[in-house]
Amino acid sequence: MPKLAANLSMLFTEMDFLDRFKAAADTGFKGVEYLFPYDFNINDITKVLSDNDLKQVLFNLPAGDFAGGERGIACIPDREEEFRGGIEQAISYAQALKCSQLNCLAGKIPKNVSYERVEAIFIENIRYAAARLEKENISLVIEMINTIDIPGFFLNTTVQALQILKKINHSNVKLQFDIYHMQIMEGDVCRTIKNNLDTIQHIQLADNPGRHEPGTGELNYHFIFSWLDDTGYKGWVGCEHSPLSSTEAGMGWLKTYNQI
């Protein structure tokens, strides 16, 4: 059975952020992930993790003006100093929260900037991040996101990401594979996961269309969960789905799929 982590940016949003940890634990989750911790005191998060016996599985590097529509700055010209400062901030949180992996959102391709320049900036930033995080025993993942939900996002497919990983050429950076995003962009998610198991370090899930919980769309999660077990995937699976109604009402899928 895959290890499931509740994504607290998507689940239990009916309550305050720090209260979501207990709700996740009460539901049966052993791990949590979310977009960003930076608006909260490190000690407050550490306490709710400890109080509820939860593992911090993943969060993102700072991603620019997220509220204003930015979705990462790793590929954007003239933001390198800001990017490197964000790495240091993320390290301080990761060490306190005992989180051993961080995700980097690449960002949107700026207007009037060539793909080649954007790719070169992204590669250099990720090389720097991978090396800096390795010194702290923290691994880095990069994520492919569909072009419908985030038009203009730089990293969109597994093939593109694998090509870029070869150019980065650093052992401390791998892929975060979001089943929802990749179902939209390329399909064939199970075979892709199996063929790239050595490169995929973290997986996220949601059904499609709608990004709701498993069982609400076209994906056969009975098969997918069995497939992950059969392939020997040992990492976490983040439940990054938007409940069709309330979080509580949408949690029946965990029992249906024998996950918790």
> Averaged in consecutive runs of 10 residues, what is the pLDDT profile of the chain (260 residues)?
95 98 97 98 98 98 98 98 98 98 98 97 98 98 98 98 98 98 98 98 98 97 96 97 92 83
First to last CA, the chain: 9
* Three-class secondary structure of residue 60 per DSSP: strand
81 is annotated as an active-site residue: no
pTM of this structure: 0.97
Half-sphere exposure of 21 (CA within 13 A, CB side): 17
Structure token pair of residue 136: 């702290």
On the 0-12 / 13-18 / 19+ scale of CB atoms within 10 A, 132 is: middle
Q: Which of 33, 119, 213, 240 is catalytic?
A: 240
Q: Write the CA distances from 227 to 1, 42, 100, 186, integer angstroms.
A: 10, 37, 25, 18
Q: What is the pLDDT of residue 67?
A: 96
> 116 an active-site residue?
no
Q: What is the pLDDT of residue 1?
A: 78
- Write down the catalytic residue from 33, 119, 143, 213: 143
Helix (H) or strand (E) holding 141: strand 139-143
- CB contact burial 104-116 (16+ within 10 A = b; e otherwise): bbbbbbeeeeeee
In whole angstroms, give the CA distance from residue 76 to residue 63. 11
The pLDDT score that the predictor gives to residue 5 is 98
DSSP type of residue 250: G
Instruction: Determine the 3-state secondary structure of 56 from DSSP.
Output: strand
CB contact at 8 A, 5 and 32: yes
Name the H helices within 140-220.
Answer: 158-168, 179-185, 189-195
